[in-house]
Amino acid sequence: MPLVPSHVASLQPYVPGKPIEEVEREYGVSDVAKLASNENALGPSPLGMAAARAVCDRVHLYPDGSAFYLKKALSERFDVPIEEILVGNGSNELIELLVRTFALEGEEVLTSAQSFIAYKLAAHAHGRRLVEAPMKERFHYDLEALAAHLSPRTKVVFLANPDNPTGTWFLEKELVHFLGRVSRDTLVVLDEAYVEFVEAPGFQDSMALRKQHPNLVVLRTFSKIYGLAGLRLGYAFARPELVAFLDRVRAPFNVNMVAQAAGAAALGDGAHVALSRELVRLERPFLEKGLRELGATVVPSQANFVLADFPGRPGMALFEALLHEAVVVRPVAGYGFPTGQRITVGTHAENVKALAALRRVLAR
Ligand SMILES: *Cc1c(COP(=O)(O)O)cnc(C)c1O
């Protein structure tokens, strides 16, 4: 008898961005610029941090399993009834939970090739078939191709907009057209991890779309603009029936007490959100320009990172060379971009440092 099911035996582990401490230890460097995981360069929301500290003396108690105050804060902030809100241990947990709860044996999960790897991992971890539609012009979701890959077996569709690792986006009109072609029995999960950074016209209003499409699930996170990646906190908006099923499948205390408190407070930290958005608005063009001057092809982005392609420079080698310069980026060969690096928009000093390190490394 095999020890595990074959779909578990064939799983590939997720490769996270290299932690700062590990880079310092392994490469003997200090003052590391970590531009690998699209974290907030300005750090956590100060209001979130204060709230987190304030609950620390109560962590001998279990958290509120219903996350009442956090959901109430989300409900007020986004004008969504509490029964339509689910919170998770990062939106990653919610991705996994959606597959686990709704994709029956023999049903398929559909997404775009070269998009966020968590969709693939979730499908495969549960032994569900993942169907991937090709991108168009290498870096863009192709909603026509996605629609062409819909089948009566498609149960969950994952769409990241803006996308990771490309940073590209599609327009609301394309999404609306796609939604019109999806069966009501198929869930469309719109992953809006970077929505707060978006400035492009014609972008989706997911809150309005939810009202017309009961099969639409909106996923968001506190990991990016709110700066709480280390606390693990994500949320979903879905119709009450879906939330009720997900609620039964999730672990009883899936969101810890510190995350609940920090998240609720961070939602009200408009100043931190505005500063974080402003940083990306100013620094992303600076980083893009510097990368282009170094010969990279930079994919247009609406997120707090850019995908840069360095022709003739295999991703792992360039990544390694940058580690010696105390700069951590994210090679994306595993996504089918063999000479690509995903680079998070850092502080101005970090971006200057990354560009200087790249200049040295590329000159060798
Ligand atoms: C970063 C990211 C998330 C957020 O994951 P968490 O588990 O909430 O930290 C979700 N989706 C995409 C596309 C992302 O890039």
With a 6 Å cutoff on the Cβ, whether 38 touches ligand 1 is yes
Give pLDDT, residue 240: 98
Answer yes or no: is 240 within a domain.
Answer: yes
* Residues 245, 283 share a domain: no
What is the spatial distance between Cα 16 and Cα 272, in angstroms, rounded to a whole number?
26
Mutation pick for ligand 1 pocket among 121, 161, 164, 192 (CB with most ligand atoms within 8 Å): 164
With a 6 Å cutoff on the Cβ, whether 206 touches ligand 1 is no
Indicate left, alpha or beta for 62 from its phi (over 0: left) and psi (-120 to 50: alpha): beta
Nearest to 91 by CA among 213, 216, 187, 235: 235
16-30, 279-293, 345-359: least confident range: 16-30
What is the spatial distance between Cα 265 and Cα 86, in angstroms, rounded to a whole number?
17
Average pLDDT over residues 120-130: 96
Could you say which of 247, 266, 285 is where a domain stops? 266
**At 201, which amino acid appears?**
P
Each residue of 254-264: pLDDT tens digit?
A: 999 999 999 99
Each residue of 267-299: pLDDT tens digit?
A: 999 999 999 999 999 999 999 999 999 999 999
Could you say which of 266, 282, 305 is where a domain stops? 266
Give pLDDT, residue 193: 98
Domain count, the chain: 2
Average pLDDT over residues 313-324: 97
Band of pLDDT at residue 16, cut at 50, 70 and 90: confident
What is the spatial distance between Cα 87 and Cα 119, in angstroms, rounded to a whole number?
18
**Minimum CA distance residue for ligand 1 atom 11:** 193
Residues facing 131 on adjacent strands:
110
What is the spatial distance between Cα 87 and Cα 52, in angstroms, rounded to a whole number?
17
Answer yes or no: is 1 within a domain.
Answer: no
Give pLDDT, residue 290: 98
What is the spatial distance between Cα 130 and Cα 158, in angstroms, rounded to a whole number?
11
* Residues 94, 20 share a domain: no
CATH number of the domain enclosing 25: 3.90.1150.10
pLDDT at 13 over 90: no
pLDDT at 1 over 90: no
With a 6 Å cutoff on the Cβ, whether 301 touches ligand 1 is no
Band of pLDDT at residue 14, cut at 50, 70 and 90: confident
Each residue of 198-230: pLDDT tens digit?
A: 999 999 999 999 999 999 999 999 999 999 999
Please say whether the beta carbons of 157 and 122 come within 8 A.
Answer: no
Give pLDDT, residue 12: 84
What is the spatial distance between Cα 193 and Cα 45, in angstroms, rounded to a whole number?
17
Give pLDDT, residue 237: 98
Could you say which of 266, 299, 324 is where a domain stops? 266
- Ligand 1 centroid distance, CA of 165 (Å): 11
Mean pLDDT score of the chain: 97
Residues facing 331 on adjacent strands:
341
Q: Which domain holds residue 14?
A: 6-43+271-363
Answer yes or no: is 177 within a domain.
Answer: yes
Average pLDDT over residues 8-26: 89
What is the spatial distance between Cα 197 and Cα 303, in angstroms, rounded to a whole number?
6
- Ligand 1 centroid distance, CA of 221 (Å): 6
Please say whether the beta carbons of 251 and 94 come within 8 A.
Answer: no
* Residues 295, 214 share a domain: no
For strands 330-331 and 327-328, give the pairing: unpaired
Give pLDDT, residue 155: 98
Q: Which atom of ligand 1 is nearest to the CA of 223?
A: 9
Average pLDDT over residues 133-158: 97
Give pLDDT, residue 33: 96
What is the spatial distance between Cα 210 and Cα 204, in angstroms, rounded to a whole number?
11
